[in-house]
Amino acid sequence: MSTPERLIESTRELLWERGYVGTSPKAILERAGAGQGSMYHHFKGKPDLALAAIRRTAEELRATAAGVLDGPGTPYERIEAFLRRERDVLRGCPVGRLTMDPDVIASPELREPVDETLDWIRERLAGIVEEGKEQGQFGAELDGEEIAATVLATVQGGYVLARASGSPGAFDAGVRGLLSLLSPMPPTPPIRTARCCT
């Protein structure tokens, strides 16, 4: 792995573990096994390197989400696959956690890939809900954008609750609850009218 790649990967890990403020240039260099001044040789500074790392993380998260949201199955099954996909729940979402970092939120450049990723997931989920409505799998009264926001809120809130309790159980409970609310209703059998005897 080249020095720039090691610097980016090390920054990604540290941002996930410590956030932007807690990720010092010295820590990045130590984690990457890079010499003094390497960061400034390949990047303009910490913000430039952090932006490259955040973009890489955002691209990876979108690719992972696309793998299940654009995969096989009914709309419900694809949403279920997204909610139940393997995650390191106790570490939190590597993109969602950045929204709690004041330095990231204060920087339009650093915030942009975070916003784009969350918007992309929300829009893709909303489209899948609309597919399900067209197929009669979801009720016509459901609003795709509202359901998408609820799915995203369940995932991000589940990370917070799991980290607070030190157990993935809270995340899993939120997922089960949401899926039970979204679960397609079985088709209603036709009503048979009794023939009157004469």
Q: What is the pLDDT of residues 150-169, one digit of tens each?
A: 999 999 999 999 999 999 99
Q: Is residue 195 part of a domain?
A: no
Q: Which domain holds residue 45?
A: 3-182
Q: Is residue 172 part of a domain?
A: yes
Provide the number of structural domains found in the chain. 1
pTM of the model: 0.86
Long-range contacts of 105-113 (CB under 8 A, 24+ apart): 107/47, 109/47, 109/51, 110/20, 110/47, 110/50, 110/51, 110/54, 113/51, 113/54, 113/55, 113/58
CATH assignment at residue 122:
1.10.357.10
Low-confidence residues of the chain: pLDDT under 70: 185-198
Please give the pLDDT value at position 119.
97
